[in-house]
């Protein structure tokens, strides 16, 4: 085909395409028909798209029409977008106002939703905006929940964690037994094996969720002056009440392990430590504290019924700051008050 004739054909085609744009105001055409006509898509082949001259009036018209319909760019960085190519082929393109979740509902529902959006754009947020609002609300609620949980007693959190994990341990154990034991494995069908394997996997997953959620809750730091590690509850009540009457807070725990755990959360000014405890030796606990760079400067005083001569043998190796013997007089705590009042030498 001669060049002049080809150019003439392209001009004619562009003219025909331009004639599809909105008619002049003096033409009597139904507005609904205009809208439907404007929504029509071309049905081009890959070869047609390849030959499309992006600088031609036809291409400019198609790009404008595509962008009006979808709200998306036809050209990005001087390249035709994939969605524009799909649109040129006649495939359906979802606009920015449509949330992807709408793809999973019936077509008539999608159309109803989209009509509502088009009619009420200025009065109601889009689905995307609603989802963003929902996510922000969830984050805010999660932060609030985390703050509330942080106020729980550590023992309460530990009990909740144990109550949730214990049944899972049994489920996991029996599931693993059924899957690995030769006595049971051969008797199970493939379907049953798959079901048990799924139960085992889901139990592991749930256990990790519980662990990550509960075990990582940061409890609020406890503010107190004295940490008392003592296995006798009556002694704990007596000493804590005494210091409370003197306007000082005393935190009592009944085992060495709990004492070390509490030390990580609190920042006591002085530690009163029993030597004979149900789990750990007070001597070993003192060594642990005094060899830790974070806690070694905290004064530690043994509170014990062991003889003075026996305790003094261990003062150097444990680096304890002193001791108070049971039964004690309240005047024996004068050294503790000196530390609390900043008068200790």
Q: Spell out, as residue ranges, where the chain has pLDDT lower than 50.
A: 15, 18-38, 96-102, 219
pLDDT of residue 86: 86
CB within 8 Å of 97: residues ≥ 6 apart: 71, 114, 117, 118, 121, 126, 127, 128
**CA–CA separation, 278 vs 239, rounded Å?**
20
pLDDT of residue 81: 85
pLDDT of residue 141: 64
**Helix 57-70 and helix 31-38, axial crossing angle in degrees, nearest 10:** 110
Q: At 229, is the secondary structure helix, strand, or coil?
A: strand
pLDDT of residue 285: 94
pLDDT of residue 188: 80
pLDDT of residue 191: 82
Centroid of chain to Cα 230:
38
pLDDT of residue 152: 55
pLDDT of residue 21: 46
**CA–CA separation, 310 vs 321, rounded Å?**
15
pLDDT of residue 32: 46
pLDDT of residue 73: 81
Residue 99 is given by DSSP the state: -
In 72-118 the beta strands, taken as DSSP E runs, fall at 75-76, 79-80
pLDDT of residue 323: 96
- Residue 97, CB-side half-sphere exposure with 13 Å CA sphere: 19
Question: Of 142, 144, 125, 121, whose CA–CA distance to 133 is shortest?
Answer: 125
Query: Where would I find the H helices in 71-106?
Result: 82-88
Give tens-digit pLDDT for 196-237: 888 888 888 877 777 666 555 554 555 789 999 998 888 999
Radius of gyration for the alpha carbons in the chain, expressed in angstroms and rounded? 39
CB within 8 Å of 327: residues ≥ 6 apart: 305
pLDDT of residue 339: 92
Residue pair 62/74 in contact (Cβ under 8 Å)? The answer is yes
């Amino acid at each position: 085909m001669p060049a002049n004739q080809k150019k003439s054909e392209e001009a004619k085609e562009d003219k025909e395409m331009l004639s599809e744009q909105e008619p002049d105001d003096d033409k009597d055409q139904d507005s609904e028909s205009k809208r439907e006509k404007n929504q029509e898509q071309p049905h081009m082949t890959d070869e047609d798209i390849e030959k499309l001259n992006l600088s031609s009036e036809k291409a400019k018209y198609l790009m404008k029409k595509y962008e009006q319909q979808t709200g998306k760019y036809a050209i990005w960085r001087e390249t035709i977008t994939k969605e524009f190519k799909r649109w040129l082929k006649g495939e359906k393109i979802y606009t920015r106002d449509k949330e992807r979740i709408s793809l999973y509902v019936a077509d008539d529902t999608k159309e109803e939703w989209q009509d509502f959006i088009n009619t009420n754009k200025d009065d109601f947020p889009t689905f995307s905006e609603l989802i963003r609002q929902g996510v922000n609300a969830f984050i805010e609620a999660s932060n609030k929940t985390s703050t509330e949980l942080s106020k729980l007693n550590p023992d309460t959190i530990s009990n909740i964690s144990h109550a949730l994990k214990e049944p899972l341990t049994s489920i996991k154990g029996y599931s693993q037994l059924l899957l690995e034991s030769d006595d049971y494995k051969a008797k199970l069908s493939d379907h049953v094996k798959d079901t048990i394997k799924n139960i085992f996997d889901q139990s592991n997953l749930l256990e990790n969720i519980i662990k990550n959620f509960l075990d990582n809750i940061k409890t609020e730091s406890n503010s107190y002056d004295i940490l008392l590690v003592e296995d006798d509850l009556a002694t704990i009540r007596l000493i804590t009440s005494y210091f409370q009457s003197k306007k000082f807070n005393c935190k009592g725990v009944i085992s060495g392990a709990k004492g070390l755990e509490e030390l990580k959360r609190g920042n006591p000014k002085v530690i009163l430590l029993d030597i004979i405890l149900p789990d750990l030796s007070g001597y070993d606990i003192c060594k642990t504290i005094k060899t830790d760079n974070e806690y070694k400067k905290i004064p530690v005083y043994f509170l014990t019924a062991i003889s003075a001569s026996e305790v003094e043998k261990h003062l150097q190796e444990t680096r304890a700051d002193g001791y108070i013997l049971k039964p004690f007089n309240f005047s024996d705590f004068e050294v503790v008050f000196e530390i609390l009042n900043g008068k200790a030498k």
